[in-house]
Structure 1
Amino acid sequence: MHFTRTPHPAPTPDATRDALIADPGFGTVFTDHMVVIDYDEALGGWQTPTIGPRGPIPLDPAASVLHYAQEIFEGMKAFAHADGGLSLFRPDANAQRFNASARRMAMPEIPEETFLAAVREIVAADAAWLPPIEGGSLYIRPFMFASEAFLGVRPAKQYKFVVIISAAGNYFKKGVNPVKIWVSQDYVRAAPGGTGAAKTGGNYAASLVPQAEATAQGCDQVVFLDAVEHRWVEELGGMNLFFIRSDGSVITPPLTGTILPGITRDSLIAMLREEGLEVREEPYGIDQWREEAESGTLLETLACGTAAVVTPVGTVASPSGEFTIGTGGIGQMAQKMRERLVGIQTGRIADTHGWVMRV
């Protein structure tokens, strides 16, 4: 695929870049380049891909995204290998989920090979930004939004697909340690028939007030219950959940349309089954969570996602009190799954699933 290239007039000096990526945190240190591909229905669809300096995107104040929220995105990472190369983890699954989100939001699908080429192009351009620290990666953010200027309520006919990169360290400030989560009582993330299974910004906007409530309660994250009975555990603000039980079974909430189908979630299902555990996708109630934690039936709760990988949940809090899972520390399975997943992503452990794509 041919990309039109615009040379960067003033790339970040090496010394400045090295200082930035020494302790980048998450989501605040951005690389030099971006990919942009325009879509115009009147011109036959997707236009020539471009890669050039990262910078502001000109936008008409009547752009549809600003009024009707036609917007989707993905989150993925590039990892360093011992041989000096880089790899992507299941980027084809990201491409497929991106298009599933596009269909739900009445947006055009982008050919998977175009999506993958755009990701590989920008990773190759900004490989030097990968932080040389434990857990360092390039966090890749492909996104698409409606750019057509109009105020009628209909799907737009013009869009921009953009890929940017952020140099990333650990998602949580305290690193790989058990998190404390708050059970949202008054808010839900998604409802049946809504956009819960799409990776669209509106879902995350809906989580910000309850997330702020969780922070005010001294918690790291918020967990949402279902919108109908307000009984069944669904997911955190940006992560899926697994419940590891003493009888060798594992439960993860089912994908019924209100939960994002996480790629890390799907990977963990396969890995846990390889450990000989019975993984069931079935409803798990908030009362069951407390009862099994207090009785010792529940050994661990794992939260997982691209940004945080695998993170143990240590404590669950709500207005009615709180309970601790296991010892409240990092459980054996959380540690094992995290190490194995990161090992596959970085090439230290053999990839028997064909998940890793070298760049």
Structure 2
Amino acid sequence: MSLNIDWENLGFSYIKTDYRYISKWKDGQWDNGELVKDNNLTISEASTALHYGQQCFEGLKAYRTKDGSIQLFRPDENAKRINRSARRVLMPDVPEEKFIDACKQVVKANEHFVPPYGSGATLYLRPFLIGVGDNIGVKPAPEFLFCVFCLPVGPYFKGGLTPVNFIISEYDRAAPYGTGEAKVGGNYAASLYPHELAVKQGFADCIYLDPATHTKIEEVGAANFFGITKDNKFITPQSPSILPSITKYSLMHIASEYLGMEVEERDVLVDHLDEFAEAGACGTAAVITPIGGIHHKGKLHVFHSETEVGPVTKKLYDTLYGIQFGDVKGPEGWIVKVK
């Protein structure tokens, strides 16, 4: 089947593909799940997902390699994380095998939407879990839906790996003992307004400080922060209100095992930015967004450069990108072949 898609100029926007996976939890168990063509869900108006935010989601990608095969990157980690999120808002676990099988089914059924190797584009998968059924009280839903859909997306960077600037936000994305480390929609709803304020001021996004003291860097928009110190250490914040990024933990391993760097998860004080020679944000969508500068207390603190990516950030990006597309050998278990 031929598609009229300009692979080289794809953005990050919704495209309806042919099939998606849906499975229902009822009376204490999941059904077998199935692939369907309809991209609309019909749910009760009293569903807890609509009223009380009982839902969570994931994001991962399928990659076309040079030999034409297709692979997923660490889907077992996404399976583990969706279950940690689900438990936080009292939803049932999705068995890890079921999660990975659903992702594989969706990729295979939409294989012609997987972009060609060399285009820089990928097939983005969005698994999600929502509470549904007739329920108006503030309590867990009687039924749940687990779904996975996919769409082709372009490379995050149109002009290559280019640094962007961020501004420190006065707002919090999560409470100290709230849902910050769960991938639930409420965290993202809370970020919409601060993001809009940052963009209106000419920045790519805002950076959130720790909600308790407002002295430590936590998240960069919807991504995790990392810094490269002047003595070549990879540093990333540690906090109970940060979403644990699979990309971040992959970069930590690469920094240590591939680049021979010291790695630390610890507090990153916003008043001590001058300890870093380079900085970046990391996540599934972009892999790495280099941070040119951070605006704080009326001043822009510039790291390596506002126009050029730092050498260590570039090595980290190239290594992880290479593993994902099959050009660099990854650690055992990181790659799951679909075809």
Determine if the TM-score, normalized by the shorter chain, exceeds 0.5.
yes
* Counterpart selection for 1:229 from 194, 213, 219: 213
Q: Is the CA contact 2:8–2:120 (under 8 Å) kept in the aligned structure 1? A: no
Q: Is the CA contact 1:303–1:312 (under 8 Å) kept in the aligned structure 2? A: yes
- CA change 1:357–1:166 in 2 (3 A) is same
Say whether residues 1:350 and 2:335 are aligned partners.
no
Aligned to 1:272: 255
In the aligned structure 1, how far is the partner of 2:103 from the partner of 2:123?
Answer: 11
Q: Is the CA contact 1:179–1:221 (under 8 Å) kept in the aligned structure 2? A: no
Q: Residue by residue, what CA displacement relative to the aligned partner does 1:240-267 show, whole Å, maximum 9, x if unpaired?
A: 111101112221101x320001000111
Aligned to 2:168: 183
Aligned to 1:248: 232
Residue identity opposite 1:118 in structure 2: A
Question: 3-state DSSP class of the match of 1:165?
Answer: strand
* Counterpart selection for 2:124 from 123, 139, 159: 139
Residue identity opposite 1:286 in structure 2: V
Aligned to 1:311: 289
Flag structure 2 segments of 5+ consecutive residues without an equivalent: none
Q: Is the CA contact 1:22–1:131 (under 8 Å) kept in the aligned structure 2? A: no
Q: Residue by residue, what CA displacement relative to the aligned partner does 1:73-105 show, whole Å, maximum 9, x if unpaired?
A: 000000011111100000000000010001101
**CA displacement at 1:26 relative to structure 2:** 0.6
In the aligned structure 1, how far is the partner of 2:45 from the partner of 2:79?
Answer: 29
Q: Residue by residue, what CA displacement relative to the aligned partner does 1:290-342 show, whole Å, maximum 9, x if unpaired?
A: xx1xxxx4210021101110121002124512121122220101111111101
**CA displacement at 1:143 relative to structure 2:** 0.2
* Counterpart selection for 1:169 from 151, 154, 168: 154
Aligned length: 335
In the aligned structure 1, how far is the partner of 2:205 from the partner of 2:332?
Answer: 31
In the aligned structure 1, how far is the partner of 2:244 from the partner of 2:36?
Answer: 32
In the aligned structure 1, how far is the partner of 2:97 from the partner of 2:140?
Answer: 24
Aligned to 1:154: 139
Aligned to 1:86: 70
Residue identity opposite 2:329 in structure 1: A
Residue identity opposite 1:159 in structure 2: F
In the aligned structure 2, how far is the partner of 1:82 from the partner of 1:327?
Answer: 33
Say whether residues 1:302 and 2:280 are aligned partners.
yes
In the aligned structure 2, how far is the partner of 1:355 from the partner of 1:244?
Answer: 24
Say whether residues 1:326 and 2:304 are aligned partners.
yes
In the aligned structure 2, how far is the partner of 1:251 from the partner of 1:55?
Answer: 41
Residue identity opposite 1:26 in structure 2: F
**CA displacement at 1:29 relative to structure 2:** 2.0
Aligned to 2:241: 258
**CA displacement at 1:21 relative to structure 2:** 4.2
Question: 3-state DSSP class of the match of 2:102?
Answer: helix
